[in-house]
Amino acid sequence: MSVLIVGSTALDSIKTPKAENPRLLGGSASHAAVAASFFSPVRLVGVVGEDFPKRYLQLYKRRRIDLQALQILPGKTFHWSGEYEANMNNRRTLLTELGVFETFTPTLPNSHQNSPFVLLANIAPSLQHHVLNQMQRPKFVVADTMDLWLNIALPDLLKLLKRLDAFVLNDSEAHQLTTEDNVFAALKKIHKLGPRYVIIKKGSHGAVLSGPRGFFICPAYPLHLVMDPTGAGDSFVGGMMGYLATARGSIEDNFRRAMIYGSVVASFCCEGFGLLRTARITRGQIDRRVKELERLTKF
Ligand code: AMP
């Protein structure tokens, strides 16, 4: 089954203490789409400007991502720039140029409206609603968000939570939303806002799920060197949704393993700038890391 993914499609300029890389392929939807494409067919919904490099379109195509709902409009592609501190966790945004993203209205062709799995990657909640309004009874809907929308679009986000099966956010966003310092208390509060599945991501410390069968502690793959963690969260949720869309059996039965696959794709993402590493891996490499994680956490 296919996964429909809407979110930002961007050019990212990323600075770390060791290197600087301008205008990489980025955006929440790009990272999530490439991650999901290792497991299932993907339909990408987004917008880019005429300056969007052809080689990035080729990259999507090599991953067999359906680009029918990717709008190419006169103007500039959304450009985001961020700088990491030496610990590679703290990041500050240096620049956000919206370009064609400013007036983006995601429009789904008829063929996309029956996609069973929907991933509303990080984008304004009003646009996430707009996409959901066009869907015909999706089987499973997941959304991600960021601190910006908690600050400037909280009412829209709270309405969205009531329409989701699963909600994914990071620990600082969970704290902002619930004022809880304790992850488990925060998960409980977020359930009350709507979603059956809530995942709190904790960066290099993995993620915690609270779902119908209780908690699951999902480990992060142990990396010795992180080059650039940009998009790791999007890769996690993209990989997870891609796996869920094609795994046999019920969503509930597959959910934990799906998170592990998401965690492994995210680990590859961190090993290179932007999508440089993720775009080159194979399903075999992913499966090997999943086995390794299984060994590491068995007791
Ligand atoms: P993450 O590292 O998971 O927080 O995701 C980083 C990605 O989010 C980058 O590729 C950016 O292009 C994208 N991004 C940054 N700011 C925004 C925004 N305001 N809306 C949507 N996407 C954004």
Q: Which amino acid is at 165?
A: D
Cα of 27 from ligand 1 centre, angstroms: 5
Q: Which amino acid is at 82?
A: G
Residue with tokens 């999902």: 218
Report pTM.
0.97
pLDDT band (50, 70, 90) for residue 52: very high
Pocket-testing residue among 146, 152, 227, 240, ligand 1, by greatest number of atoms within 8 A of Cβ: 146
Residue 27 has pLDDT above 90, yes or no: yes
Query: 240-259: per-residue pLDDT in tens?
Result: 999 999 999 999 999 999 99
- Asked if residues 97 and 76 have their Cβ atoms less than 8 Å apart, the reply is yes
Identify the residues whose C-beta falls under 6 Å from ligand 1: 8, 10, 12, 26-28, 80, 96, 122-123, 148, 230-234
Mean pLDDT of 4-20: 97
Cα of 93 from ligand 1 centre, angstroms: 10
Q: Whose CA is nearest to atom 6 of ligand 1?
A: 231
Q: Return the pLDDT at 260.
A: 98
CA distances from residue 5 to 32, 92, 103, 142, 158 in whole angstroms, order as listed: 7, 26, 19, 10, 20
Q: Return the pLDDT at 89.
A: 86
Cα of 278 from ligand 1 centre, angstroms: 17
Mean pLDDT of 65-93: 96
- Point out the ligand 1 atom lying closest to the alpha carbon of residue 12: 12
User: Cα(264)–Cα(221) distance, rounded to whole angstroms?
Assistant: 6
Residue 100 has pLDDT above 90, yes or no: yes
